[in-house]
Chain A
Amino acid sequence: GQQLNQSPQSMFIQEGEDVSMNCTSSSIFNTWLWYKQDPGEGPVLLIALYKAGELTSNGRLTAQFGITRKDSFLNISASIPSDVGIYFCAGQDFSNDYKLSFGAGTTVTVRA
């Protein structure tokens, strides 16, 4: 599948901090999606983006579909302890049977 580079690989958060992560690709995508995986569970869709330049919010989460269609970022504002988990970006290519390509994930942990 297409390679997505997701960064950072991991991060520590302190309650109240804003955090951000991003995903880049060498290929363009038609749709960008962000998933969150809680420990012991499967990934759950957080936000879907459908147009280049689109900025979408879901509560404290904000995501953007890059203008070049090759990147996306996710911001979490005023983080809380339940934000810990693994966040995955995914790009969807309509010409490839609408299949998703996933980034390697960003692991978010609470700083002690």
Chain B
Amino acid sequence: DAGITQSPRYKITETGRQVTLMCHQTWSHSYMFWYRQDLGHGLRLIYYSAAADITDKGEVPDGYVVSRSKTENFPLTLESATRSQTSVYFCASSEVRTQYGYTFGSGTRLTVV
């Protein structure tokens, strides 16, 4: 299927566990992004990537790790999950220097108990 897909859609994990959220896009977009959405905060950028093997921190990177070995995949890992990381996570992608904004996935709702 064409587009940007995130998995899983829902995840419950325990405090201290490692969890990885997956993001896959089929357009060969250069740029990929990870956002978290929390009530009252809108969308906050966690990490982004301009190309394979190039990643950079966003606004709220602490506690998260990303990698991008292939253009189409951009996984987000919580190395030791905390309750404050309970959130909805969105992946997005875009072409280089586009004026057409980003295309978002459907999100992963993560609950840390």
Contacts and interface: CB of A to CB of B under 8 A. Distances in A.
Interface stretch (B13-21, B38-46, B71-79): B38-46
Interface residues of A, number: 26
Nearest to A101: B45
B107 A42 contact: yes
Interface stretch (A44-52, A54-62, A77-85): A44-52
Contacts of B100: 45, 48
Nearest to A107: B39
A42 B104 contact: yes
B42 A104 contact: yes
A92 interface: yes
A99 B47 CA distance: 12
Contact of B99 (A1, A31, A40, A97): A31
Nearest to B92: A42
A66 interface: no
Nearest to A34: B101
Interface of A: 1, 6, 30-31, 33, 35, 40-45, 48, 50, 88, 90, 92, 94, 97-100, 102-105
26 contacts: A1-B59, A31-B99, A33-B101, A35-B104, A42-B90, A42-B92, A42-B105, A42-B107, A43-B43, A43-B90, A45-B100, A45-B101, A45-B103, A48-B99, A48-B100, A48-B101, A50-B99, A88-B42, A92-B99, A92-B101, A97-B50, A98-B94, A99-B48, A100-B101, A100-B102, A105-B42
